[in-house]
Amino acid sequence: MRAAVLGLLGLVGLAGACGDNIPAFEPWILDSVDPADGLWIRTPEFDVPAGQEIQDCYFFTIPADQPDGMLWVDHLQLALNPGSHHMNLFRVGELRALKPADGAPIDLGGAQGTLIQGGECWKSGNWANWALVANTQQSLPGEPILDWGLPAGVATRFTAGETLMLQIHYVNASTQETPFRGRGGVNLLRSRDGDTMELGTLFATQQNIRICRSNPRPTYQGSCALPSGSHTVAAVNGHFHSRGRKFSVYAWDGVSSTRPPDTELFYQNTDWEEPLMKLGMSLPLPQGGGVWWTCDYQWQEPAGGCAAVDERDPLHAGDCCYTFGPIVETSEHCNVFLYYWPKTADVNCF
């Protein structure tokens, strides 16, 4: 069955397009999913007022009636209206100040859930030890849906009753625009072919970053080791904000403290706004190794002046330094999202 799309959405989109030289808004459509075939989630549409950034956290659970108590998913569809900065799906782990029970009840189509708007949903320490499930940064008007089939034999495993969190960030300011309204959707499609290898995830981030007027082109680098075993990369994407000029990921031997040679480079992106999501990979990583990543930046004069940037600098250096943080307009990130098989553990490197 096809999810109903309100005609009103299209009208709103068209109205938003008038006079702006922006293509008419074509609402994306994802088929809803019968419970026998998986799970579907749709957020409501929401406004993203000019000059603002919105980050919301939607919580929902994997339905209890799963065969053998498990939902194996080998095909994901992630959809976003134009203007999204990111949409990340996590397994809810240890609860800190971001708690599903604190959210407002919300109908998510294929599940009932709760919603926390802003507030604790901005504070990354709250989900520091939650494992990544999937992510997308793709929200071009002509390409709103990331359609991701996992490699043969590989699936993401969920436990019946497990709680997930879908986080969506929209920006409608000087660095990014949301021309219509925000909205996200996820389809988790059940594996039917007996997949036995579990997909693992790796999230790695450089936190103490500074991109300053006096040092305008810094590079930050890090490495992230996987547990012992053989691992093959299935997909990868990098994430930074508008000062980011090049994001690179290399296969790494787990020992070297110098950047791997270019022959080991397997991901590079220079488009911070719509970063490449590299799918369909089958790249073995070195035994005992992992990945090495680099973030190259170019400092830029903030459109609104340096005051807001300086204010959030922990050192108060007065050097217009962008530092680690979620606000696209005034802060920066350097994050790797990587998917591999077979899973030995979900990995976060900080």
Partner 1 sequence: MARAALPLAVGVALLAVGCSDDSPTTSCPIGDRSQPIELAIVWSDGTNLADFVDGGAIPLRRPLQGGQAIMIGVRARNVDGCKVNLTTTLRDPDDGRSLGLDIRPVRLDPGADGWGHPSEPFFQSIGSTPACPNLVGDVDIFGNPWRVELRLDEDGGRSATVFATVRPFCDDVSPKAECECECAAGYQLGQACGEPDAGVDAGPDAASAIDAGVDA
CA distance 287 to 291: 11
Where helices occur in the chain by DSSP H, the ranges are: 7-17, 307-311
270 binds partner 1, rule: CB under 8 A: no
CA-CA distances (angstroms) from residue 296 to 212, 214, 259?
13, 15, 13
Q: Considering the complex, state which of residue 5 and residue 97 has its C-beta at the smaller distance from partner 1.
A: 97
159 binds partner 1, rule: CB under 8 A: no
CA distance 272 to 35: 36
299 binds partner 1, rule: CB under 8 A: yes
Closest CA to 335 of 207, 235, 212, 245: 207
User: What mask of x and - would describe binding to partner 1 in positions 39 to 78, judged by CB under 8 A?
Assistant: -------------xxxx-----------------------
Q: Considering the complex, state which of residue 12 and residue 35 has its C-beta at the smaller distance from partner 1.
A: 12
With H, G, I as helix, E, B as strand and everything else as coil, classify residue 262. Answer: helix
Q: Considering the complex, state which of residue 195 and residue 296 has its C-beta at the smaller distance from partner 1.
A: 296
Contact 273, 237 (CB under 8 A): no
161 binds partner 1, rule: CB under 8 A: no
- Among positions 166-205, residues that touch partner 1 (CB under 8 A) are 173-179, 205
Q: How far is the CB of 262 from partner 1 (least distance, A)?
A: 17
91 binds partner 1, rule: CB under 8 A: yes
Q: Considering the complex, state which of residue 75 and residue 183 has its C-beta at the smaller distance from partner 1.
A: 183
Q: Considering the complex, state which of residue 192 and residue 217 has its C-beta at the smaller distance from partner 1.
A: 217
Q: Considering the complex, state which of residue 258 and residue 263 has its C-beta at the smaller distance from partner 1.
A: 258
Phi/psi at 263 (nearest 5 deg)? Answer: -65, -20
Candidates 216, 280, 284, 318; binder of partner 1 (CB under 8 A) is: 216
- Among positions 113-152, residues that touch partner 1 (CB under 8 A) are 117-119, 121-126, 128-131, 139-141
CA distance 137 to 262: 26
CA distance 88 to 170: 12
Closest CA to 117 of 162, 168, 82, 78: 168
Candidates 16, 35, 286, 325; binder of partner 1 (CB under 8 A) is: 325
Burial code of 263-283, b = ≥16 C-beta within 10 A, e = fewer? ebebbebeebbebbbbbebeb
230 binds partner 1, rule: CB under 8 A: no
Candidates 5, 14, 24, 308; binder of partner 1 (CB under 8 A) is: 308
Query: At CA 130, angle to CA 129 and CA 136, rounded to 5?
Result: 130
347 binds partner 1, rule: CB under 8 A: yes
Q: How far is the CB of 66 from partner 1 (least distance, A)?
A: 19
* Structural tokens at position 271: 């488009």
Q: For partner 1, which stretch binds (CB under 8 A), given 29-37, 69-77, 152-160, 294-302?
A: 294-302
State the DSSP code for 123. Answer: -
- Among positions 272-291, residues that touch partner 1 (CB under 8 A) are 273-274, 288
208 binds partner 1, rule: CB under 8 A: yes
